Amino acid sequence: MAELQVVVLAGGVGAARFLGGLVETKGNDSDITVISNTADDIRLFGLQVCPDLDSVMYGLGGVESSDRGWGRENETFNTLEELRAYKAEPEWFQLGDRDIATHLIRTQMLDAGYSLSQVTQALCKRWEIPATLIPMTNERVETHVVVDDPETDHVKAIHFQEWWVRYRASLPAREFLTIGADVAKPAPGVLGAIGSADVIILPPSNPVVSINPILNVPGIRQALRLANAPIVGVSPIIGGEVVRGMADKCLAAINVAATASGIAAYYGPRSGDGLLDAWIVDELDETSVKEISQLGIKTVATKTLMSEPGVSKKLAETVLELANQVTKAKDA
């Protein structure tokens, strides 16, 4: 039998953890393509930093920091200390020494004319990751957040990283803008992977700033809608709350309830004008299964807290099983 073609739309940590489980259960007999959000990307100190691409690369390479949730394990921060001693701006962003090597190579290659796809492929070689990691686009796209400037009270747009890291998402967001998305093109391989997929997965990710920017690149949402493969998502909510991070602050800004059903309705049923064939909610949110099913989305409840041993593998199995059921029901 041909290998199972799996496509995963990815933010950072949630996707990286899920992918670990997917590889454990299907690593040898599937072909996994990860389409990464790049709208978190930012240029700092002359370095091109791609947080979501790196979270997946380090995660699948087995070298991510599990406690910090970003960057490398066994990291040191000597360069950062020196930058701070010079009072170099911005002072709110952290960069580890090992991590800086990645950004140096990336920036050097980009400046030499390689595309972000090519650079990503080159970086991934070292880690021998069991998946093909591609950026959503090779063009510059950035999430900016419209806020009231705390110093002047004027409305202004700031880079997502400044809002998230500097202000810890505490400035009320009026709006999220995916700057550059309207004129961006999907990176090579993105539409092809979606079109030839057997299953498409939305792992637990921030819907507003991780998945939405990917969907905002012209052509991607439509390719997902037209794909033969079932689309299965996993709720980023556990027991009515976000797991880590501040995704609830993002959802509030776009008037979406930070609940398993709120996010399912936001993505919408494939049978309507949305994306989801199936949706997995946490066992603590089991009471929402009926309501979500009534939207026309096949919904099941199971354990989804992936920091617990064995859960991400089991979750990946459940996703593939659900996808199988959707495919069978469609073929029947």
Contact 249, 160 (CB under 8 A): no
245 scored as a contact of ligand GDP (CB under 6 A): yes
User: By CB under 6 A, what part of segment 198-237 binds ligand GDP?
Assistant: 204-206, 210, 234-236
Contact residue for Ca ion among 5, 9, 12, 83 (CB under 5 A): 12
Instruction: Give the number of other CB atoms < 10 A from CB of residue 276.
Output: 26
DSSP secondary structure, 58-96, as one string: HHHHT-B-TTTSSSBSS---HHHHHHHHTTPSP-S----
Residues 81-120 that bind ligand GDP (CB under 6 A): none
Using CB under 6 A as the binding rule, whether residue 243 contacts ligand GDP is answered as: yes
Residue labelled with tokens 């459940």: 318
Site map 264..283 versus ligand GDP, x via CB under 6 A: ------------------x-
Can residue 259 be called a binding residue for ligand GDP (CB under 6 A)? no
Q: Which stretch binds Ca ion (CB under 5 A): 35-43, 91-99, 162-170, 212-220?
A: 35-43
Q: Which residue sits closest to ligand GDP, CB atoms considered?
A: 11
Instruction: State yes or no: residue 198 binds Ca ion (CB under 5 A).
Output: no
Segment (H or E) for 200? strand 199-202
Residues 6+ apart with CB under 8 A from 152: none
Contact string 121-150 vs ligand GDP (x = CB under 6 A): ------------------------------
- Looking at residue 69, the DSSP 8-state letter turns out to be S
Tokens 């079932």 sit at which residue? 230
DSSP notation for 234-277: E-SEETTEESSS-HHHHHHHTT--SSHHHHHHHH-BTTTTS-BS
CB atoms within 10 A of CB 165: 17
Q: Which of the ranges 105-113, 132-140, 149-157, 303-311 carries the binding residues for ligand GDP, by CB under 6 A?
A: 303-311
Residues that bind ligand GDP (CB under 6 A): 11-15, 17, 52, 55, 204-206, 210, 234-236, 238, 242-245, 247, 282, 304-307
Residues that bind Ca ion (CB under 5 A): 11-12, 40, 52
